[in-house]
Amino acid sequence: MKRMIRRRLFFLTIMTITFVCSQRVLPQELRAYPTTGKVVRLENSINELLPPDARIELLATGFEWSEGPLWVQDADGGYLLFSDIPRNSVMKWKEGAGISLFMKPSGYTGVADYGREPGSNGLALDLQGRIIFCEHGDRRISRLEKEGGKKTLVDSYRGKRLNSPNDAAVKSNGDIYFTDPPYGLPKGHRDPRRELDFCGVFRLSTSGKLTLLTKEMTRPNGIAFSPDEKVLYVAQSDSTNPIIKAFPVKSDGTLGSGKVLYDFRTLMRKYPGGPDGLKVDKGGNLFATGPGGVYVITPEGKLLGRIHTGKRTANCAWGNDGSVLYITADDYLCRIKTKTKGANFRNM
């Protein structure tokens, strides 16, 4: 009898130890993230940008539509912010801590329902390290002040409300360049609340002056400067004309005539999604989201390869020391380690 009791106690002890060990959660930095997709290499020169063993790491999932990633440096090494537009939220991801809610509401402060995409979209940092928001629902460019409140920087052009600011790029002099398609309006370009009859690319100067730079693009979306800021790239997410245009930047900050740098029309028949967000590396290469992933394109418009997520891919951003590319793809947050760095990456 005593032997049977001892045996039962032994097995109970083993089961307890096994249960406790199985519930032990390793620190996130010690865990290997699952991978997804693949790197498609079309030109050998892409190996100078993406190492042969580069993998797309899946950091988190479960979002409705992830967008606008932004790296923010802090005393603990930094963290990533990104928008979940349908949930009107900005989420935070930090190594070792995972996902948390950073801000809600993020782009719409009204009380009535405001369609499928009410939240913030693109996020950026100004020269003082303050966060700039492109807000769909409140139809404005805003800034998060150091004291915690939000300040409207601009919400109208010549007395008419903006459509729904989408993405922004901050020039080295502090001017904010942004795109204004109608995607955040509940009924899109047919919404009766729409006041502008065009989709513009704008510049908001540090003095507060808003200038319309061009209205030739039907659905301007992602936006970024070349390393020397002499070229402004703008993606057009119009399914009938899905392109990236390159605009020369004049000495006064306005734009010259744009030219088509890349056309995604054929690729949109093969993979989900279209041109959306984009970033530029220190060599001037574009990392531009498009059908099924992130396309690596030279300043001359040559396609070097694709970071293939297989999903509708919204945007990307440089993080860590500037060499890690974070990617928002539908319900995914991913990253890939590169051999290059973001153009003029500021580790603020």
Determine how many CB atoms are found less than 10 A away from the CB of residue 191: 15
Asked if the structure places residue 348 within a domain, the reply is no
Asked if the structure places residue 178 within a domain, the reply is yes
DSSP-derived 3-state class of residue 20? helix
Task: State how far the Cα of 100 lies from the Cα of 97, in Å rounded to an integer.
Answer: 8
Determine how many CB atoms are found less than 10 A away from the CB of residue 303: 18
Q: How confident is the model at residue 20 (pLDDT cuts 50, 70, 90)?
A: very low
Task: Determine contact, residues 281/340, Cβ cutoff 8 Å.
Answer: yes
Task: Determine contact, residues 33/58, Cβ cutoff 8 Å.
Answer: yes
**Reading across the β-sheet that carries 89-94, which strands appear in turn?**
66-72, 79-84, 89-94, 98-103
Which amino acid makes up residue 55? R
User: Which pLDDT score, from 0 to 100, does residue 32 have?
Assistant: 84
Asked if the structure places residue 68 within a domain, the reply is yes
Kindly state the average pLDDT of the residues 184-202.
97
Asked if the structure places residue 24 within a domain, the reply is no
Q: Which two tokens stand for residue 237?
A: 């997410």
Which amino acid makes up residue 92? K
Domain harbouring 165, CATH code: 2.120.10.30
Kindly state the average pLDDT of the residues 231-260.
98
Sign of CA dihedral 275, 166, 238, 269: positive
Total number of domains in the chain: 1
User: Which pLDDT score, from 0 to 100, does residue 280 have?
Assistant: 98
User: Which pLDDT score, from 0 to 100, does residue 346 have?
Assistant: 75
| Main-chain phi, psi angles of 22, to 5 degrees | -70, -25
Asked if the structure places residue 193 within a domain, the reply is yes
Task: State how far the Cα of 273 lies from the Cα of 322, in Å rounded to an integer.
Answer: 26
Report pTM: 0.90
DSSP-derived 3-state class of residue 11? helix
Asked if the structure places residue 17 within a domain, the reply is no
Q: Each residue of 310-348: pLDDT tens digit?
A: 999 999 999 999 999 999 999 999 999 999 999 999 765
Asked if the structure places residue 234 within a domain, the reply is yes
- pLDDT above 70 covers what percent of the chain? 91
Structure-token match 């204004």, residue found: 180
Q: Each residue of 39-94: pLDDT tens digit?
A: 999 999 999 999 999 999 999 999 999 999 999 999 999 999 999 999 999 999 99
Q: Is the peptide bond before 105 cis (omega within 30 degrees of 0)?
A: yes
Q: How confident is the model at residue 8 (pLDDT cuts 50, 70, 90)?
A: very low
Q: Each residue of 86-124: pLDDT tens digit?
A: 999 999 999 999 999 999 999 999 999 999 999 999 999
Task: Determine contact, residues 232/225, Cβ cutoff 8 Å.
Answer: yes
Task: State how far the Cα of 88 lies from the Cα of 95, in Å rounded to an integer.
Answer: 23
Note down the domain range covering 112. 35-337
Q: What is the CA radius of gyration of the chain?
A: 22
User: Which pLDDT score, from 0 to 100, does residue 27 have?
Assistant: 43
Asked if the structure places residue 28 within a domain, the reply is no
Kindly state the average pLDDT of the residues 122-132.
97
User: Which pLDDT score, from 0 to 100, does residue 287 have?
Assistant: 98
User: Which pLDDT score, from 0 to 100, does residue 347 have?
Assistant: 62
DSSP conformation letters of 131-198? EEEEETTTTEEEEE-TTS-EEEEE-EETTEE-S----EEE-TTS-EEEEE-STTSTTGGG-TT---SS
- pLDDT above 90 covers what percent of the chain? 89
pLDDT averaged over the chain? 92
Q: How many residues does the chain have?
A: 348
User: Which pLDDT score, from 0 to 100, does residue 148 have?
Assistant: 87
